[in-house]
Amino acid sequence: MKKVIVEVSARHLHLSKKDLEKLFSKNYKLRRLKNISQPGQFAAQESLEVKGPRNSFKKIRIVGPERKNTQIELAITDCFYLGIKPVLKVSGNIKNTPGIILRNKNKSIKIKEGVIVAQRHLHISPKEGQKLGLINKQKIAGIIKGKRGAILKEIIVRFGNYKTRLHLDTDEANALGVKNGSIVELKI
């Protein structure tokens, strides 16, 4: 079995160039706060208010660089708090997902779709994945050991220019008693 590192993915959002410019200004560039584990990606200094029908989160961090489509990644608990229906999706697939209001100081936009609960997934390079006999987009399982141990099913394998990491949202991590740096054994 292959052991991999868990990363807990807290609520965050990705902006399209179009939405970034609507909320900030034309040709606006996100300011890097710190790099995150996946190559080329970073936590930006900027954050936005995310407003649902019931409540809002005043500051959700933007992750750069820009994406093709605006996407807000939340945990199921976050969706309940905001008053929107949680929809589990593979990151990048925003079809048939709820919309929401994004606000930056005096500017706000309403996006028609883009709020997802990200499906648990394994980031891995094609070379490393092939060594393990994995195929891009296949579903695998993982074993979490400990007092709240569990078998995680439906982990989506995602090939790309990635460091090998298993991403869980905060609800999943809290339920399992795991944190950043915990280990999961892949069941391939």
Domain map of the chain by residue range? Answer: 11-118, 120-187
Torsion sign over Cα 153, 78, 32, 108: positive
**CATH code at 120-187:** 2.40.40.20
Per-residue pLDDT of the chain (188 residues; tens, 9 = 90+): 699 999 999 999 999 999 999 999 999 999 999 999 999 999 999 999 999 999 999 999 999 999 999 999 999 999 999 999 999 999 999 999 999 999 998 899 999 999 999 999 999 999 999 999 999 999 999 999 988 899 999 999 999 999 999 999 999 999 999 999 999 999 87
Q: Give long-range contacts, CB 8 A cutoff, 24+ apart: 125-129.
A: 125/159, 125/160, 125/161, 125/162, 125/164, 126/159, 126/160, 128/164, 129/157, 129/159
Q: What distance in Å separates the CA atoms of residue 169 and residue 57, rounded to the nearest whole number?
A: 17
| Distance between CA atoms of residues 123 and 95, nearest Å | 22
User: Do strands 150-159 and 121-124 pair parallel, antiparallel, or not at all (unpaired)?
Assistant: parallel
Q: Which residue has the tokens 């298993």?
A: 166
What tokens appear for 185 in the block? 């054994």
